[in-house]
Amino acid sequence: MSVFDHNEFDNHEQVSFFSDPKTGLNAIIAVHNTNLGPSLGGCRMWPYQDSAEALNDVLRLSKGMTYKAAMAQLKLGGGKAVILGDPRKHKTDDMMKAMGRFVEQMGGRYITAEDSGIAVSDIRLMSENTEHVGGVDAKYRYDGGKADGNPAPSTAYGVFMGLKASVDYALKTDLKGLKVAVQGLGHVGYRLAKHLHAEGAELFVSDIYADNVERAVAELGATAVSPDGIFDVDADVYAPCAMGASVNQNTIERLKAKVIAGAANNQLANEHLGQVLRDKGILYAPDYVINAGGVIDIYHQRILSSAQALRSHIEGIADTLNEIYQRADESSMPTNLISNRIAEERFKQIS
């Protein structure tokens, strides 16, 4: 498995592999770019088929974080960590502490936080061995509620505000009675579904775990859909909130939604699909723009600002999206490429 000539290698500054046989930890940390500040990005635990799949994921995800921080105007770079394993089966406290040692070895160039499969309690265990963590012991929540450090509420709120702005831009309507297909009902997807339900949207939901779906049906009146069936729902909006690449060659022809706006990272299997979506008249909210609420939260906790400042920063995601949509329409370009261009202007200039 090679790194330097890997398809997803984008002059990443550092890629580190870590193995701890005692705890069974096998992990990779990738630092994409630190021009704007130390790299920050969540740690994902996922049952990757092999290390090649994990490397692919961490290279893509860390790059996305550089673009995300730049678009959210944060003094942070892009990095990400992945742990190979099933969080429901393989995760142990000792493994999380070992992960903390790995993060510590990065010497502050990488700051970790929650991502799929990693909870606040895991970050707390990592923090026993490193101070380079975010998403724990937060001082406040964006809505004034009790904070536990989990960035997911802020991510979900940002996606919700961004989704509303996207619907307004593309469909000139609000969410009442709008059909939204939500893929993935985890930390972010479920909270997003709650926001959408509160605004009167009709929900169609899928998850690979039946208990997550059953909860949404019982609590939010959602319609359950199979993991594969979510792509065929006759919805106005598709909100991917699970893993990456759910918009791909196979699914793009099946999607009926006019707006794609969700929390997942790397939603498009490749950048070219942005043009395909534009040609099909589907408005795509660039993933790293709409899902930046969590990293914005962690940033504000680090600089000790306030709940109000955090909330208005998250709400700014809607303005950023509107700017992207206008520039995309003016130049007849796909939204993902317009967004990449703006981000690159910001983080490449510094170098």
Where on the chain is the footprint of ligand NAD (CB under 6 A)?
114-117, 151-152, 155, 183-189, 206-209, 212, 227, 241-243, 263-265, 291, 294
Cα–Cα distance, 47 to 53 (Å, whole number): 10
In the complex, minimum distance from the CB of residue 347 to ligand NAD, in angstroms, rounded to a whole number: 18
Residue number, 208 or 350, with CB nearest to ligand NAD:
208
In the complex, minimum distance from the CB of residue 111 to ligand NAD, in angstroms, rounded to a whole number: 14
Q: Which residue is nearest to ligand NAD (CB)?
A: 186
Cα–Cα distance, 338 to 285 (Å, whole number): 11
Kindly give the pairing relationship between strand 43-46 and strand 77-84.
Answer: parallel
In the complex, minimum distance from the CB of residue 176 to ligand NAD, in angstroms, rounded to a whole number: 25
- Tell me if residue 68 is catalytic: no
Residue number, 38 or 294, with CB nearest to ligand NAD:
294
Query: 138 with 147: CB under 8 angstroms?
Result: yes
Cα–Cα distance, 175 to 164 (Å, whole number): 7
Residue number, 88 or 173, with CB nearest to ligand NAD:
88
Active-site position among 80, 91, 97, 164: 80
In the complex, minimum distance from the CB of residue 135 to ligand NAD, in angstroms, rounded to a whole number: 8
- Residue 86: count of CB within 10 angstroms of its CB: 12
Per DSSP, the three-state class of 244 is coil
In the complex, minimum distance from the CB of residue 183 to ligand NAD, in angstroms, rounded to a whole number: 5
In the complex, minimum distance from the CB of residue 31 to ligand NAD, in angstroms, rounded to a whole number: 17
- Tell me the CA distances in angstroms from 272 to 61, 245, 276, 288, one per residue in order: 18, 12, 7, 16
Query: 115 with 68: CB under 8 angstroms?
Result: no
Residue number, 38 or 189, with CB nearest to ligand NAD:
189
Cα–Cα distance, 212 to 210 (Å, whole number): 5
Identify residue 194 by its one-letter amino acid code: K
Cα–Cα distance, 181 to 225 (Å, whole number): 9
In the complex, minimum distance from the CB of residue 170 to ligand NAD, in angstroms, rounded to a whole number: 22
Contacts of 280 (CB under 8 A, 6+ apart): 252
Identify residue 77 by its one-letter amino acid code: G
Residue number, 79 or 189, with CB nearest to ligand NAD:
189
Contacts of 5 (CB under 8 A, 6+ apart): none
Q: Locate 124 and state its tokens.
A: 């707390």
Cα–Cα distance, 3 to 199 (Å, whole number): 46
Provide the 8-state DSSP code for 120: H
Residue number, 26 or 251, with CB nearest to ligand NAD:
251
Residue number, 24 or 87, with CB nearest to ligand NAD:
87
Which residues are tagged catalytic?
Answer: 80
